[in-house]
Amino acid sequence: MIRETPAELYERLVLGRYIIRRLLQAIPVLLGATLLIYAVVFALPGDPIASMYGEKRMDPDIVAIVREQYHLNDPFIVQYWYYISGVFQGNLGITFSNVPVSEIIAGKFQVTLNLAFTALVMEAVIGVGLGFYAALRRGRAQDTMILASTLVLISIPTLVTGFVLQLVLGVKLKQSTGIEVFPIAGVSDGWRSYLLPAFVLAGTSIAYLTRLTRTSLAEILRADYIRTAVAKGMPRRRVVGRHALRNALIPLVTYLGADLGTLMGGAVITETIFNLPGIGQELFRSVYERQQPVVVGIVTLLVLVYILANLIVDLLYAVLDPRIRYE
């Protein structure tokens, strides 16, 4: 758009102010969450320096220098202050072995992000599709079957679906067909490596999204404006695919947006089962190696993802529902 009308300019200003306000509101959440995590990590038993050197005897002078360098002698809150001011400058700190945390996390974060995004796409496609199908056949056999399967899908923990699918789709399928359709471990097979773990990770969410889609679409199909669209002589395709869908998107987008954070944060079990070098596994390892900066860095990053995802959802929300205005 080359020239804006005054109304458009106004909209843009309002939107800008809204985003800034939302980001400001997110600061206490970020501070609070990181402080909590920092406190927990601070309370982790064991001395980080000692664990770094393992069983070796240490030169007390060197230990003192290292402790000083990492502010380990300062009170908790001061240490936190050093940390969080770094975060606001885009610096997640350095590990006790002098590697920037961001360097360690970057690759792992990419793996988890790939996993979560693949899961999110599967969730959106399968969940929304099944939900639509069920809502349009409400009360019939297909609907009941879909509902029953969502119940089962919700109930089977990732732990179980992970191993069962690994066995059935990964191993048995390969044995019977001779082709490795779904790789079962690692990320050496590119995007195919993510298919099975992403499905496992998305399982519960697929079921919830199916239910949410079904419920909200069924409710929307009973709305007065749908009756109006029918009375206007609109073909059923258009009534469902345009009038109903556009309204149904509102809760679905909200759910999907909020779920990105959940998927990333909940990926640790899936990563463990499928040996994916993601942040869940890294966090796990760092906890045991007492690499506190890495632990805090990972959680801080996930909190940021959560905050951003929510902001995006809010913005999309206002785009999808004209009744909502940025105040």
Partner 1 sequence: MNMTSTPPLPAWGAGGPGSEPLLAVEDLHVEFATRQGTVKAVNGVSYSLYPGETLAVLGESGSGKSVTAQAIMGILDMPPARISRGRIRFRGTDLLGLSEDARSQVRGRRIAMIFQDALSALNPVFTVGSQIGEMFRVHQGMSRRDAERRAVELMDRVRIPGARQRLHDYPHQFSGGMRQRIMIAMAIALDPEVLIADEPTTALDVTVQAQIMELLAELKRESDMGMILITHDLGVVADVADKIAVMYGGRIVENAPVHDLYRAPAHPYTKGLLESIPRVDRKGRELYAIAGMPPDLLDMPPGCAFAPRCPYRQDNCVTEAPPLYRIGPTRGGACHYWREVLDGSHG
Partner 2 sequence: MSDTVTPRSRRARHAKSPLRSPGGPSRGGPAAGTAGRPASLWNDAWHDLRRRPLFIAAAVLIGVILLMAAVPQLFTSVDPYDATSCRLGDARQAPSAAHWFGTDNQGCDTLARTVYGARNSLLVGLSTTVVTVLVGGLLGLVAGFRGGLPDALLSRVTEIFFAIPSVLGALLILAVFRTGTVWTVMLALAVLAWPMTFRIMRAAVITAKGQDYVVAARALGASGRRLMFRHILPNAITSVIVVATVNLGVFIAAEAGLSFLGVGIQSPEISWGLMIADARPRFLEAASPLLFPAAFLSLTVLAFIMLGDAVRDALDPKLR
Which residues of the shown chain bind partner 2 in the complex (CB under 8 A)? 28-30, 32-33, 36-37, 40-41, 43-45, 151-152, 154-160, 163-164, 167, 171, 215, 222, 261-262, 264-266, 268-269, 272, 280, 283-284, 287-288, 295, 298-299, 302-303, 306-307
99 CB-side CA count, 13 A: 11
H/E segment holding residue 218:
helix 192-221
Compute CA 151 distance to the chain's CA centroid, rounded to the nearest angstrom. 22
Residue from 12, 21, 192, 232 touching partner 1 (CB under 8 A): that is 232
User: Which of 53-61, 103-111, 176-184, 232-240 is the region at the interface with partner 1 (rule: CB under 8 A)?
Assistant: 232-240
Q: HSE of 242 in the Cβ direction (CA atoms, 13 Å)?
A: 8
Neighbouring C-beta atoms of residue 271, cutoff 10 Å: 25
Which listed option, partner 1, partner 2, none, makes contact with residue 228 (CB within 5 to 8 Å by class)? partner 1
Q: At residue 301, what are phi and psi to the nearest 5 degrees?
A: -60, -40
Instruction: Name 100's bridge partners.
Output: 94
**Cα-Cα-Cα-Cα dihedral of 274, 280, 285, 289, to 10°?**
180
Q: How far is the CB of 225 from partner 1 (least distance, A)?
A: 4
Our finding on whether 22 is near partner 1 (CB under 8 A) is: no
Q: Is the CB of residue 261 less than 8 Å from the CB of residue 29?
A: no
218 near partner 1 (CB under 8 A):
no
Tokens 């909590």 found at:
36
Which three-class secondary structure string do you get for 227-263?
HHHHHCCCCHHHHHHHHHHHHHHHHHHHHHHHHHHHH
Q: Binding marks (x or -) toward partner 1, 292..321, rule CB under 8 A?
A: ----------------------------xx
**Tokens representing residue 87 in the block:** 């975060």
**Distance of closest approach, residue 59 Cβ to partner 2, in angstroms:** 28
Which residue in 8, 225, 241, 312 binds partner 1 (CB under 8 A)? 225
Q: Please, what is the minimum distance in Å from the beta carbon of residue 300 to partner 1?
A: 37
Which of the choices partner 2, partner 1, none does residue 152 contact, using the CB cut-off of 5 to 8 A by kind?
A: partner 2
- Take residue 139 and report the two structure tokens written for it: 């009360």
Q: Which one of partner 1, partner 2, none interacts with residue 69, CB within 5 to 8 A by kind? A: none
x-marked contacts with partner 1 along 176-215 as a string, rule CB under 8 A: ----------------------------------------
What residues make contact with partner 1 under the rule CB under 8 A?
A: 223-225, 227-235, 238, 243, 246-247, 250, 320-323
